[in-house]
Amino acid sequence: MTQGEEPAAADDEDAEALRVGEPEEAEEEIAATQLGTERYVLAGFFAAGMLLAYLLGKIVHGVWATLSNKDWFSRALPAVSAVGDDDKVTYGMVVGGVIALIVVLRMFRNAELRTWSDEVASELAKVKWPTKKEVTNSTFVVIATTTVATLYLALLDRFWAFVTNIVYGDGS
């Protein structure tokens, strides 16, 4: 559809059907269709880039700090080993960020990886995630069941300890 065209009648009917149904579910479905899966793919690549930049920055700083304490490194590169520790952290993060940017851009442009991530995001968009009320109710059921099972097993343990003491005696 181009910018000047009106939406088709079927689209209007679908949107109206969503509005007539349950209001909370209709809002979630409309929001999900407006967001699209591309946003999640980009956010994933961005998060991976940030994590990679942080890790590479820490690695660069650690290697640089270790090498600066070596005599052979101090003689070979006196200006590099003379950099202060705070500056090493900053430069390490910058170097790690540049390397991460290059890696993530290459990954983003990789057709196979991009197709796979788009497919994963589109499949996750099809999942009907539980509501907050459903999660809360399920959590209470799990806690109650665990408590009952724990009490049952504790009583069973006490009972068998009592029976064992009667059969074998208390050892005195």
3-state secondary structure of 165: helix
Query: What pLDDT sits at residue 35?
Result: 59
The pTM score is 0.57
Buried (b) or exposed (e) across 7-23, using 16+ Cβ within 10 A?
Answer: eeeeeeeeeeebeeeee
* pLDDT averaged over every residue in the chain: 83
- CA-CA distance, 149 to 152, in Å (whole number)? 5
**Predicted confidence (pLDDT) per residue in 99-128, tens digit:** 999 999 999 999 999 899 989 988 888 889
Half-sphere exposure of 5 (CA within 13 A, CB side): 6
Q: Is the pLDDT of residue 24 over 80?
A: no
**Predicted confidence (pLDDT) per residue in 41-85, tens digit:** 888 999 999 999 999 999 999 999 899 888 888 888 888 888 888
**Predicted confidence (pLDDT) per residue in 76-102, tens digit:** 888 888 888 889 899 999 999 999 999
Q: Which among 23, 7, 65, 36 is positioned nearest to 124, based on CA atoms?
A: 36
Q: Is the pLDDT of residue 131 over 60?
A: yes
Query: What pLDDT sits at residue 95?
Result: 94
